[in-house]
Amino acid sequence: MKEVTNQMNKQPSVLAVMAHPDDAELRCFGTLLKYKEIGYECKLLVVSGGENGISLQDKLEYNIDYIPKTEREHETRSAFENTGIEIDILQFDDGNIRLDKSLIAAIEKVIRDFAPDVVITHCPEDLGVDHQDHSAVGKAAINIASRVEGVKKILLCEPLLTLRAGFIPNYFVDITKYFNRKMEALSHHKTQHGRYYLEEHYHVAKSVFYSLSLGAKPVEEGLKHEVFNAIFTLET
């Protein structure tokens, strides 16, 4: 009975499980801020340090082979500074994350310890359109969240190449209030400068596209959204 009472009194919580630094800022930063504002405890788990997040052009132009993990980790911690959102970063090898027992065990420990009501993670896809690390992390997090009692909602984030990946959102979060803070958070990722998906016009265009799905008023009002595929919800 004591255990049941403790669960009833527990502050609701949300855990985002992402593969790399900047993934959460791109996909669910506004959503996490919104959850935080309505009283949820929020945590971000980043599986790798993102040290291999260098394009071939960057390698040639700057003559570098990798980015120090500490540098990309610092960018994410700076992006989330003053949000009240806790960040944990694991040390899996960027670009070589595999769906295996090591990955599942590491993520499962965090999920069981934190006991989230909501889990947000990558949308896995098998066509090879999205980053391979995203699919591995997404599958692991879904596997665990589907087995752990207490998870009431699982939200899968939008891939960058939405249509090619076959992503169809069914869960829309209005982040208009937090949009400028999202753009500011993305600006902290100096090591990724020049990538189109970090630019404001990319996120504005996405929001217009999804507002069209919601009707004329969201477009006219310039509302901004982060979108997800909700694969599990439990109303209590």
- The per-residue pLDDT for range 21-48, each reduced to its tens digit, is 999 999 999 999 999 999 999 999 999 9
Establish if 222 belongs to a structural domain: yes
- The stretch 52-64 carries a mean pLDDT of 63
With b for 16 or more beta-carbon neighbours within 10 A and e for fewer, the 88-107 pattern comes to ebbebebbebebeeebbeeb
pLDDT at residue 156 is higher than 70: yes
Residue with tokens 């995203």: 134
pLDDT at residue 20 is higher than 70: yes
Establish if 2 belongs to a structural domain: no
User: Strands (DSSP E) along the chain, which ranges?
Assistant: 13-18, 41-48, 86-92, 118-122, 153-157, 171-174, 225-233
Establish if 1 belongs to a structural domain: no
Across the chain, mean pLDDT equals: 90
- The stretch 82-101 carries a mean pLDDT of 95
What per-residue confidence (pLDDT) applies to 97? 96
Q: How many domains does the chain have?
A: 1
Establish if 211 belongs to a structural domain: yes
What per-residue confidence (pLDDT) applies to 200? 94
Domain at 113, CATH number: 3.40.50.10320
pLDDT at residue 55 is higher than 80: no
pLDDT digits over 61-74, tens only? 656 666 777 888 99
Which of 89, 98, 105, 94 lies closest to 16, judged by CA? 89
What per-residue confidence (pLDDT) applies to 9? 61
Within 13 A of 55's CA, how many CA atoms are on the CB side?
A: 9
**Selected residue with higher pLDDT from 214 and 105:** 105
Structural domain for 21, as ranges: 13-233
What per-residue confidence (pLDDT) applies to 60? 60
Establish if 216 belongs to a structural domain: yes
pLDDT digits over 175-231, tens only? 999 999 999 999 999 888 888 888 999 999 988 888 888 888 888 888 999 999 999
- Phi–psi pair at 191, nearest 5 degrees: -70, -15
Establish if 5 belongs to a structural domain: no
pLDDT at residue 6 is higher than 50: no
Residue with tokens 């949820």: 40
Establish if 3 belongs to a structural domain: no
Establish if 204 belongs to a structural domain: yes
